[in-house]
Amino acid sequence: MSIELTDKEKLLLWGLNKHPNATLNELSDILSLKQSTTAAIKNRLMKQHYFFELNIPMLNRLGFEMLGVGIMKFNSLISMKHRFGKTVELMDNSYDLFLAVEGQNIGLAFGFFRDYTNFKKFEEDNTIKLAGLDFLEGKLPIYVLFPFKHSHIRTFFDFWRLLDEVFSLNNTVNTFNDQKWFFPKNSIDLTDKEKLVLLALTEYPNATLKQIGDSINLSRHSVGRIKSKLFEMGLIKKLYLPNFLKLGLNILALYYITFNPKNPPKNEDFILLNSKFSLFFANTSLEAVLVASYRDFKEYLNDKMQKISFLKEKNLIIEEPMIHEISVEKMQITKAFDASMILRTIFDITQPIFDLQRIPSFRSLKETL
pTM, full prediction: 0.91
- C-alpha 269: how far from its chain's center? 23
Mention every residue, 6+ apart, whose C-beta is less than 8 A from residue 183: 60, 148, 234
Burial letters 274-305, b for 16+ CB under 10 A, else e: bbbbbbbbbbeeeebbbbbbbbeeebbeebbe
Per-residue pLDDT of the chain (369 residues; tens, 9 = 90+): 455 899 999 999 999 999 998 999 999 999 999 999 999 999 999 988 899 999 999 999 999 999 999 999 999 999 998 998 999 999 988 999 999 999 999 999 999 999 999 999 999 999 999 999 999 988 899 999 999 999 999 999 999 999 999 998 876 544 444 457 887 777 889 999 999 999 999 998 888 999 999 988 999 999 999 999 999 988 999 999 998 888 889 999 999 999 999 999 999 999 999 999 999 999 999 999 999 999 999 999 999 999 999 999 999 999 999 999 999 999 999 998 989 999 999 999 988 887 655 545 555 555 544
User: 318-322 long-range contacts, Cβ below 8 Å, gap at least 24?
Assistant: 318/258, 318/260, 319/258, 321/255, 321/256, 321/257, 321/258, 322/71, 322/142, 322/254, 322/255, 322/256, 322/257
Is 10 in contact with 169 (CB distance < 8 Å)?
Answer: yes
Mention every residue, 6+ apart, whose C-beta is less than 8 A from residue 354: 200, 204, 207, 211, 212, 214, 215
Counting Cα atoms < 13 Å in the Cβ hemisphere of 144 gives: 24
Q: Could you give the CA distance from residue 254 to residue 182 in angstroms, rounded to a whole number?
A: 22
